[in-house]
Chains A and B, each alone.
Chain A
Amino acid sequence: MDFPDSDNYKYGFSVPERTVKGTGRGLSASIIRQISEIKNEPEWMLDFRLKSYDLFKTSSQPKWGPDLSALDYDSITYYKKSTEQAVKSWDDLPPEIRETYDRIGVPEAERDFLAGVSAQYESEVVYESVQKELTKQGVIFCDMDTAVKKYPDIVREYFGTLVPPGDNFSSALNSAAWSGGSFVHIPKGVKVTLPLQAYFRINSEAFGQFERTLIIAEEGSSVHYLEGCTAPIYRTDSLHSAVVEIFVKKGARVRYTTVQNWSGNIYNLVTKRAKAEEDAVMEWVDCNLGSKVTMKYPAVILAGRGARGEMLSLSLAGKGQHQDTGARMIHLAPDTHSRIVSKSISKDGGRSSFRGDIRVAKYATGCSSSSVCDALILDKDSRSDTYPSLSSHASDARLAHEATVEKIGEEKLFYLASRGLSPQEAGGLLVNGFIEPVVKEVPMEYSLELNRLINLEMEGSVG
């Protein structure tokens, strides 16, 4: 199989050398030096990594939340060639993953890329024209490795400031071992109409396990960033530890949409945090379908007057899965507003938890926050929990929280059956209706696949 050759550098990607080996298992200061050297990074980044590693060594996993005891940090390979990320051939993929690709109709070329069997997705032509458009507008969209070298000043100003390495054990690990991820910078007043997709980066490190993303939207700008994939992504190593930092300046607007469907062996630990300045709008749209355990609590710090934060979340917890997700809205300025809509489905013994953390500071007057958390539990083995936490030091904050739990109503199923719908069609329709408030915010290309995938998952769960 061919490696992308150096011609691809014009697209702004890092290019692994042909002779490079992976670093082998486990993490240590010397392995980190190796990683930094392979990437040819400036000194300050190596420093950052080493300091983060020190913090990681002294940190500990949270005592709350899902069981992470099976995670063995020493058995993970923290840097490796893309060809070693997943499997060597299509046949080595777990059968349920192959079957899903078949059922949702992923085209063959795409399959190989997603499976990690091929290093490149042949969409160069599309990519080049996208880049042309962006360059015209002065937009920077490249991978994080390149950004560190090509735009050091701007990266240094922001990198690790919203999510410092010491924030939690996962961000410490990511800060030490990160690789890949996106860098996006939108200049003042520029509105990017085309959604930026991480998928677009023909990069052998797509769907890397320690991605680090940094997005800066200058005043009055706007962008919609999309990452992930509805098709299941399989990786031999079981940890995905990512960090996303987003800066939304005055009057700017950023929407960050994630569709996650990691294979059932993966621990998906992500720290996502955005800072919204005066009159800025930050929207997280988060769909969690896969992984063995997900811990992800996207946050918006509403730092300027009139800022708005929104979080729309959908999670599906099936057999052997624990989706532990949530949202944090920190109101630090007056007239700020936040809104959370969470829809979760638990089936076959799966477990989904929602943790809300809304805080209003004393001087943040005129604020409001509303959360709606709806859970659908499909059988008696499955479970859903909601842990809302609302606290306000401002006397006039309007905080509302609603949570509902339901199972698929027999009466509704009977109604649909009386129209001739089979139990499966009826269940599918009811579930689609349940998740509709979130799915309608996801771009159509994803939402069609999303619906198909969820209906697939529902097979056998109803009727």
Chain B
Amino acid sequence: MLSIKNLTAAIGDKEILHDISLDFEPGKTSVVLGPNGSGKSTLSATIMGRPDIILSEDSELTWNGVDLKPLSADKRAKLGIFLSFQSPLPIPGVSVEELLRVALDEKMDPVALHKELRLLAEEIGLAEEFLTRSIHDGFSGGERKKIEAIQAALLAPSLAIFDEIDTGTDTDAVKRIAEFLHAHFPKDATRIYITHSPRLIELIKPDSVIILKDGKVVAKGGHDLATKTIKEGFSNIHSQLTTHNSQQGTA
């Protein structure tokens, strides 16, 4: 279980997240919605451990009882946490195969990895060349997200955060990716999707929905909350959660 309590996070001297408290239960799928600038990506980067994000003294961030705050990103990854990036940068001279060979060094031998990668690429609808080209270098939005999804499948994390896995992809690709993740992702893994897409929400059927606005959690609910919010927009939702002893948001 991922437990976040009183989390306040800043980048430089700008505070982005204010006093966030959320629990993500094991094996459940959550969706985080919010207008641009609400802090969604910062939240996912904070969980993963981006070094430039500073947490306040009383922020609490634990994963299965382990305090994540002192741990660097790679150590968190080793605990089973994964982040699919919204806009991954190109890494010249490094292919996804080379990357995974290092990442899976103890877990999978290179020959097995080679084969598995090709099977997965075919399934998700990605040409083989994307496995050996420099990662994300000149890839379209859809191609980048598919490469992220393939990595997620192979790394088999127990907590995965997908930061806008739908952005920049066409509707077919979104469906493909969602189906792929459904088929290849560990069933008991905890998933957090940051998204704008009603289509994706439809496909992943979340157990819980969280609305973020101006760096604060303003609503929590189920699937219907998502539908309502997307239909009506964010401006009507002001904080329904006024104190730490918050009431549940209306369904």
Contact = CB atoms under 8 A, between A and B. Distances in A.
Interface of A: 409-412, 414-423, 425-426, 429-430, 432-437
Nearest to B101: A429
Nearest to B93: A433
Contacts, number: 73
A434 B78 contact: no
A423 B98 CA distance: 16
B151 interface: yes
Contacts of A419: 77, 82, 99-100, 103, 151, 155
B85 A410 contact: no
Nearest to A435: B93
Given A410-B52, A425-B102, A432-B94, A417 B77 contact: yes
B108 interface: no
B188 interface: no
B98 A418 contact: no
A436 B103 contact: no
Main secondary structure of the interface of B (DSSP, over half): mixed
Nearest to A425: B102
A416 B93 contact: no
Contacts of B50: 414
Nearest to A434: B93
Nearest to B85: A415
Contacts of B99: 416, 419, 421, 429
Report which residue of A425, A426, A433 has the largest number of chain B beta carbons within 10 angstroms of its beta carbon.
A433
B135 to A, nearest CB: 9
Nearest to B154: A419
8 contacts: A412-B91, A415-B91, A417-B49, A418-B81, A419-B100, A420-B103, A421-B74, A436-B92
B91 A430 contact: yes
Contact of A429 (B51, B72, B74, B98): B98
Contacts of A416: 74, 91, 99
B78 to A, nearest CB: 5
A409 B93 CA distance: 14
Closest 3 CB pairs of A and B: A433-B93, A436-B93, A417-B73
Given A410-B51, A432-B94, A433-B94, A418 B89 contact: no
A35 to B, nearest CB: 47
Main secondary structure of the interface of A (DSSP, over half): helix
Interface of B: 45, 48-52, 72-74, 77-78, 81-83, 85, 88-89, 91-94, 98-100, 102-103, 134, 151, 155
B74 A422 contact: yes
B89 A411 contact: yes
B159 to A, nearest CB: 12
Nearest to A426: B74
Contact of B91 (A418, A422, A433, A437): A433
Given A419-B151, A421-B103, A433 B92 contact: yes
B74 A420 contact: yes
A335 B93 CA distance: 31
B92 A414 contact: no
A43 B89 CA distance: 65
Contacts of B85: 415, 418
Contacts of B98: 429, 433
Contacts of B91: 412, 415-416, 429-430, 433
A415 B85 CA distance: 8
B36 to A, nearest CB: 20
A429 B102 contact: yes
B89 A412 contact: yes
B93 A423 contact: no
A149 B240 CA distance: 96
Contacts of A433: 91-94, 98, 134
Contact of A418 (B52, B82, B93): B82
B52 A420 contact: no
Contacts of B134: 433
B21 to A, nearest CB: 24
Given A418-B83, A419-B103, A433-B94, 9 more contacts: A414-B50, A416-B74, A418-B74, A419-B155, A420-B155, A430-B91, A433-B93, A433-B98, A434-B93
